[in-house]
């Protein structure tokens, strides 16, 4: 016989007038035992998936006695080409983890060995010689939808292809540390900004920052990135500690920063400012102007904002009691120059005028005499 085909066998007892019912117990290689209660004859059907010599045995028994018989059948294996292949495996995963996929061919009597050619996004092609199933393991470092393809074929020219998709998400990266940068000294009533930065810088976002400072209400910033800032102000003197907790889905970290608040010297306001410089000039030349604030003990730093006709504004921050600027004009006329000087106590304004005329003629140095024609 051949594999995967059903074969029926018949048992018949003697004598023909044996007392009934008769119990038949059938056993065969690679088959489950069967038991029937019947008459003088009985049948059993078997099918084998494997080749080779198969022995069938039947035992017949009634109340008066028991007899048995055996029969042999040789099963030949009939194989075919690969007709179908399927892939089993997860459809979701994360970066950095290994995932195993299994290919299975049909029909189950496809000839072996089967050659499996595996291909997948961002992976090197692999080829295996295997049986009716085969497995492969992939790992991805990048996120996104990944397609796996397998082609199965055997020597009978049967070929089949299947695909499978898995969505790879980025593996969350925990916040492992956080640091605070900011001033270590300050004065009452002033605003001070502090910056927190997490490590590693590619920690999974969003990150929640919870700020705490002595004598102040906590401040929470949600949905943040790799850094965050907060501004605090204290009305009293003394040492204070600023704390921040940075947390994402995988971990958290805490950092502290100390700042001492002390009253500084009284602020002396800027009450006046003056401008000095040339009052006349020529086009195309560069001229320097100096601003000087009063009183001479005005508190620093001083910010100067310069303006002039036909010029872009110029701002100088963190300056002292004097400041300079240079301007150049391409057109003639009166040019107004302004400056505003500002410190923590106040500000003052001044203006200045310079008259710009044309530069020296390129014909300078030449003398022209009248032309006289004699008769």
User: What digits encode the pLDDT tens for the residues 11-28?
Assistant: 999 999 999 999 999 999
Which of 76-80, 107-111, 151-155 has the least mean pLDDT?
A: 76-80
The single residue listed with the structure tokens 């061919």 is 105
The DSSP output letter for 50 is S
Sheet holding 333-342, edge to edge: 280-282, 347-357, 333-342, 302-308, 314-319
Paired strand residues for 294: 272
pLDDT > 50? residue 62: yes
For residues 266 and 297, give the distance between their C-alpha atoms in angstroms, rounded to a whole number.
11
pTM of the model: 0.45
Q: Look at strands 280-282 and 347-357 and give their pairing.
A: parallel
Banded pLDDT at 108 (limits 50, 70, 90):
confident
Please state whether the peptide bond connecting residue 15 to the residue before it is cis, i.e. omega within 30 degrees of 0. Answer: yes
The pLDDT value given to residue 360? 59
The residue with greater pLDDT, 360 or 370, is 360
The DSSP output letter for 221 is E
The pLDDT value given to residue 374? 42
Tokens describing residue 146? 């990944």
Give the chain's domains with CATH numbers: 6-75 (2.60.40), 84-169 (2.60.40.10), 177-261 (2.60.40.10), 272-357 (2.60.40.10)
pLDDT digits (tens, 9 = 90+) for 288-336: 999 999 999 999 999 999 999 999 999 999 999 999 999 999 999 999 9
Report the chain's C-alpha Rg in angstroms: 49
């Amino acid at each position: 016989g051949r594999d995967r085909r059903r074969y029926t066998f018949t048992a018949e007892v003697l004598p023909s007038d044996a007392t009934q019912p008769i119990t038949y117990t059938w056993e065969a290689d690679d088959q489950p035992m069967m038991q029937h209660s019947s008459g003088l004859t009985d049948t059993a059907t078997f099918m084998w998936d494997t080749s080779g010599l198969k022995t069938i045995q039947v035992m017949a028994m009634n109340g008066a006695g028991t007899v048995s018989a055996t029969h042999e059948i040789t099963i030949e294996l009939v194989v075919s080409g690969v007709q179908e292949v399927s892939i089993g495996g997860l459809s979701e995963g994360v970066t950095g983890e290994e995932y195993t996929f299994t290919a299975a061919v049909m029909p189950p009597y496809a000839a072996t060995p089967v050659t499996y050619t595996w291909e997948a996004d961002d992976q090197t092609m692999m080829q295996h010689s295997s049986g009716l199933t085969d497995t492969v393991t992939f790992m991805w470092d990048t996120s996104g939808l990944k397609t796996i393809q397998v082609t199965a074929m055997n020597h009978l020219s049967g070929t089949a292809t299947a695909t499978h998709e898995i969505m790879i998400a980025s593996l969350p990266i925990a916040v492992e540390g956080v640091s605070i940068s900011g001033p270590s000294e300050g004065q009452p009533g002033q605003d001070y900004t502090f910056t927190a930065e997490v490590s590693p810088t590619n920690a999974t976002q969003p990150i929640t920052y919870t700020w705490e400072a002595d004598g102040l209400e906590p401040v929470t910033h949600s949905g943040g990135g790799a850094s965050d800032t907060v501004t605090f102000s204290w009305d009293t003197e003394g040492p204070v500690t600023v704390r921040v907790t940075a947390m994402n889905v995988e971990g958290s970290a805490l950092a502290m920063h100390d700042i001492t608040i002390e009253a500084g010297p009284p602020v002396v306001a800027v009450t006046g400012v003056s401008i000095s410089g040339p009052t006349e000039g020529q086009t195309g030349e560069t001229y320097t102007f100096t601003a000087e604030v009063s009183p001479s003990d005005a508190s620093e730093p001083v910010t100067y904002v310069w303006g002039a006709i036909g010029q872009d504004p110029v701002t100088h921050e963190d300056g002292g009691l004097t400041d300079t600027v240079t301007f150049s004009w391409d057109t003639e006329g009166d040019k107004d120059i302004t400056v505003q000087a500002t410190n923590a106590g106040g500000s003052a304004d001044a203006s200045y005028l310079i008259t710009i005329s044309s530069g020296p003629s390129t014909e300078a140095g030449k003398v022209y005499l009248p032309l006289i024609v004699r008769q």
